[in-house]
């Protein structure tokens, strides 16, 4: 699964730390997702990130 997490985070002009705080997700988890080291985050993490960014989870996480 691919993602546009960093792109959406940059649109908000947020740091990884800010997104982690708003989504209640560990910073290292976000970094791993953005760097492609974690390709399939849990559904809970995916929804927390999408909700924090005000986006649909399907817009951030997608199959190519």
User: Could you tell me the pLDDT band of residue 64, with boundaries at 50, 70 and 90?
Assistant: confident
Give 8-35 pLDDT, tens digit per residue: 999 999 999 999 999 999 999 999 999 9
What is the per-residue pLDDT for 52?
98
Say whether pLDDT at 56 is over 90.
Answer: yes
pTM assigned to the model: 0.94
Q: What counts of helices (H) and strands (E) characterise the chain?
A: 5, 2
Residue 23: name the closest of 2, 60, 64, 63 by CA.
60
Ramachandran class of 36: left when φ > 0, alpha when ψ lies in -120 to 50, beta otherwise: left
Q: How would DSSP label each residue in 33-54? A: HHTTS-SS--HHHHHHHHHHHT
């Amino acid at each position: 699964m691919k993602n546009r997490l960093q792109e959406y985070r940059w649109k908000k002009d947020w740091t990884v730390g800010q997104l982690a705080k708003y989504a209640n997700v560990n910073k290292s988890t976000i970094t791993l997702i953005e760097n492609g080291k974690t390709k399939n985050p849990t559904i809970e993490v995916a929804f927390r990130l999408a909700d924090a960014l005000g986006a649909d989870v399907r817009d951030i996480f997608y199959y190519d």
